[in-house]
Structure 1
Amino acid sequence: MEKIIAIVGPTAVGKSALGLKLSQKFNGEIISGDSMQIYRHLDIGTAKDSPDELRMVKHHLVDICDVNQRYTVKDFQEKAVQIIHDLDDQKKVPFVVGGTGFYLNSLVRNLNLGGESSGDDDLRQELLTLEQDNKLDVLQNILKETDLEAFNSIDISNSRRVIRAIEVYKTTGKSIVDQSNGSKWADFYIIGLTDDRAKLYDRINLRVDKMVDMGLIEEAKTVFDNRESIPQAKNGIGYKELFPYFEGISDLNSCLDEIKKNSRHFAKRQLTYFRNQMDVDWYNISEVNDYQQVISQKIEQFLGGKNDNLG
């Protein structure tokens, strides 16, 4: 059975840095589990690894879409499974790194996500129109009435997740959170990084400040100006909050404060999701001495000699 390492946790906690270090040590390659890093040219706001870091270790599912292309959790699941099979053939260890909880869960639990769409074009168009009109509250109410289990489990602030949950229920008659195919297809060791709340929030605030220095405002302006950008790209944290500044209805500092606030709220939702939905081995980076070494030893035990390059 294929063995896969996943690294999860809230934004800004250090998942990417750990993934780079471990994938080098264990002859691995990285599969991005982030729903925004798929987009070309959205580099700063999505916290992609730098060009040098991308060259250090081969990355998959990064920079594979333009901002006008739709990308679903089903797309991620199918592509990630194929990459994992290919890496196993090459005797390499897959490291799935990212903070998009439902993406990771779809892979770990082998969720049956139905077809590409609901099969009901009228329904799909209705849902997409509501999304384009920023009627998230209406979509949430539809989901609540259709699938209360999903409403209480998924990130309902993400319109694409809400739409997908509605479609899956309409297609299969089952909740999107209860779509396991039943058989265990691979062996996962899921590493969770966390930190004390105050320290994590400080890390998030500092990251936003660094992003601004790196050119976040200019990057967000290209998203704002691109009429072909789909809502999935435009609604990313770090971009949508700056739109009022570009429209001249809010000052820059207020918009940056909004990015920090939304990022903190997102981190809280990520932690809640991973703790409730997945079997994670958690490490508080401020409390576990030399946590990277501890994790490395756990991985060696998990791989059980499968890999010949165990540092």
Structure 2
Amino acid sequence: MTKVVAIVGPTAVGKTALSIEVAKAFDGEVISGDSMQVYRHLDIGTAKVTPDEMAGIPHHLIDICDVDERYSAAIFKHQAEQQIEQIAGRHHLPLIVGGTGMYLWTLTDNLTLGRDHFDAESAQIRQHWTTVAKEKGEAYVRAHLAQLDPAAEKAIARGNLRRVIRAIEVVEKTGQLFSEQPHLEAENDYLLIGLTTDRAVLYERINRRVDQMMAAGLLKEARWLYDQGGAELPAGKGIGYHEFYPYFAGEVDLQTAVEKVKRDSRRYAKRQLTWFRNKMPVHWFDLVSGRDRPEQINGLIHDWLIK
């Protein structure tokens, strides 16, 4: 089982900087978990890591698509798993870094995309057993899985409640044993590190980042995307780009468009935090305020790696 560290959290919270330090400390390579950084030519608005920021650390799944190509969670999962295998084969630590929650979830839960695991029935089953676990504990839920699928219960590591609930979901919804799913044995072991900070501070950082992007040439980048087809392109609906289309069309002034980028970015950050807090077992740290220190994160990773 390959161990993988994921660094997640909202935009503008410092994931890139932390990932470089972690990669240096643990001989790691970075796999981008951002749905927009896959696109060539979209550098400023996606806050894409620069060659200088990479500091010699290999980065993967960046600049692999043209703006008219579709990219999806299923494609990401396939490519990320390939990269994980290759990085581990080089005896390096795979690091998934990004804020696209669905992409990260496909990996950590090893979802079989193409089947519908996101419908109301699945959500209801997961919510029920999550509530049961809170009320009666993981042991109770594991005992239930042991009755349904003993092999799956034995194969899932202690403490991986999310995986236990996933196994119950598969059995209850499909009638098929989770232990007979071909992906079970190939599952990677993920440690999720989340960065956050006080909301007011985060929102100010987002506003400031947008101003910095404007100074760096975001408007020119957005105009280029608009001229390629804008909202008609798979890459054309990204935050930091589509807000400028009404400006280019002469419908709003520039300041209005910039303020909309800031607002949409803040709202996206809120959705990111909600996603990661509700769906994934993240270890949270606040490096922005100084409440936590990078040494704590390195210590957590070190202890996890030697288990």
Instruction: Report the TM-score when normalising by structure 1.
Output: 0.76
Structure-2 separation of matches of 1:222 and 1:150: 41
- Give, in whole Å, the separation in 2 of the partners of 1:100 and 1:180: 26
Deviations 1:35-78 (A, max 9, x none): 00000000000000112223521100000000011111111000
Name the residue aligned to 1:64.
64
Residue 286 of structure 1 and its aligned partner are, at CA, apart by 4.3
Determine if contact 1:108/1:188 at 8 Å carries over to the other structure: yes
1:7 and 2:7 equivalent? yes
Cα deviation for residue 107 of structure 1 reads: 0.7
- Deviation, 1:228, is 7.9
State the match for 1:236 in structure 2.
238
Distance in 1 (alpha carbons) for counterparts of 2:235 and 2:208: 23
For 1:1-311, what aligned pairs fall within 5 Å after superposition? 1-54=1-54, 56-114=56-114, 147-148=119-120, 185-227=187-229, 230-286=232-288, 289-304=291-306
3-state SS of 1:75 partner: helix
Kept after mapping to 1: 8 A contact 2:69/2:234:
no
Q: How many residues align?
A: 253
Determine what percentage of the aligned residue pairs are the same residue. Answer: 48
Q: Distance in 2 between matches of 1:68 and 1:228?
A: 10
Larger Rg: 2
Q: Alpha-carbon deviation of 1:248?
A: 0.6
Q: Please give the secondary structure, in 1, of the residue aligned with 2:85.
A: helix
- 1:112-133: CA deviations, max 9, x gaps? 0028xx9xxxxxxxxxxxxxxx
Q: Determine helix, strand or coil for the equivalent of 1:30.
A: strand
Query: Which blocks of at least 5 consecutive residues in structure 1 are unaligned?
Result: 119-145, 153-172, 306-311
SS in 2 for 1:11: coil
Could you tell me whether the CA contact under 8 Å between 2:231 and 2:237 is conserved in 1? no
Letter in structure 2 aligned against 1:81: E
**RMSD across aligned positions (CA):** 2.5
Q: Scaled by the length of structure 2, what TM-score is found?
A: 0.77
Contiguous gaps of at least 5 residues in structure 2: 125-172, 175-180
